[in-house]
Amino acid sequence: MIRETLKGGKGEVIKNPKVFIDPLSVFKEIPFREDILRDAAIAIRYFVKNEVKFSNLFLGLTGTGKTFVSKYIYNEIEEVKNEDEEYKDVKQAYVNCREVGGTPQAVLSSLAGKLTGFSVPKHGINLGEYIDKIKNGTRNIKAIIYLDEVDTLVKRRGGDIVLYQLLRSDANISVIMISNDINVRDYMEPRVLSSLGPSVIFKPYDAEQLKFILSKYAEYGLIKGTYDDDILGYIAAISAKEHGDARKAVNLLFRAAQLASGGGMIKKEHVDKAIVDYEQERLIEAVKALPFHYKLALRSLIESEDVMSAHKMYTDLCNKFKQKPLSYRRFSDIISELDMFGIVKIRIVNRGRAGGVKKYALVEDKEKVLRALNETFEDSISIGDFDDVGEN
């Protein structure tokens, strides 16, 4: 059986998995985002040819195409460099703020490294020095910076300063920021807001749009005759209910196709199983992607839903792993962010004047979260180290 699977024999469904894994290498157009792309292209042309700087904030829920559009723009600019002399001196830097740690130092270090071509330390340098390195790296050129998940930066202390310095810099720098948090502007100071250009809103896809998008993925990625219109419509309808998430729709189609491999046809049962798999994988990946202190906070909540008690356990964990613990206020902010991510659910209980107000946080699926944490800490931290925390 495995030999036939390895060879991709009878009943194969997937023609080109790269379509689902790296769609930018296949798709040359992005449907339903043409106006956004045109406006961005005009702003970039004015910047490159007329030195008119711009700053855009791409806002929209998960799966509405913000990152896809940003990376598409990035790739198109790289292609235009081969066709237009004025673009040859354009340098681009793409940074996912959450993935690099979210701190001002981490984001600036990554930007400086990409723009200068040299490794820049994340610690031991003040913010002004990072900005100077970025300025030096962009001297006599034009730079376009992409800050994905910029809300993780803005919510950190000093994050506003980073944006302000970049936006008001005398260097030739333009910025595209991307955020799933449509209220991210509320975290910005007035001086930052005054430097920002207009927000670009990515509206959720409706069921018909999702079905069209899926049809393109199916056309390029699946073998003809292994799916039908009803299956695409079913997946589109499910994904449309969850704020029109195209990323989820595509992932469901790919997973259903994998499950149907060997049978020659994607059926409803494959999609239903793909939905279960997707939700489990999404939670586990979300936990694994959390910064270290978020993971410690989450681990402490598994033992105690009372946020005050959990902070004490978190502090013990930090001491054990030689990490400086965050204040209760910052810890509480992290819990609120975990609630926003859908990993925990916050409950506020008012016990009256005598009892005061208590904050609780329930971990939604303790077993899966614990497994994800265990896998994350497997190489660097012994899981047994958690067991005796709080016993001293």
Three-state DSSP state, 30:
coil
Distances (CA, A) of 125 to 64, 130, 133, 158, 199: 37, 7, 11, 14, 32
Q: What is the per-residue burial (b if ≥16 Cβ within 10 Å, else e) of 5-43? A: eeeeeeebbbbeeebbeebeeebeebebbeebeeebeeb
Token pair of 222 as six digits:
């699946």
Return the closest-CA partner of residue 143 out of 47, 246, 10.
47
Rounded to the nearest 5 percent, the helix, strand and coil shares of the chain are 55, 10, 35
With 0-12 / 13-18 / 19 or more C-beta atoms within 10 angstroms meaning exposed / middle / buried, residue 292 is: middle
Distances (CA, A) of 262 to 4, 8, 10, 14, 286: 9, 8, 6, 10, 31
Radius of gyration for the alpha carbons in the chain, expressed in angstroms and rounded: 24
Residue with tokens 């991307």: 178
Q: Binding-site residues, please?
A: 64-68, 205
Distances (CA, A) of 342 to 127, 355, 366: 32, 28, 13
Strands of the sheet with 173-179, listed across from one edge: 90-96, 142-148, 173-179, 55-59, 199-201
Q: CA torsion 307→312→314→315, rounded to 10°?
A: 140
Determine contact, residues 3/262, Cβ cutoff 8 Å: no
- Distance, in Å, from the CA atom of 319 to the CA atom of 389, rounded to the nearest integer, reads 10
Q: Binding-site residues for ATP, please?
A: 64-68, 205
Determine contact, residues 349/360, Cβ cutoff 8 Å: yes
The sign one gets for the Cα dihedral 341, 344, 345, 350 is: negative
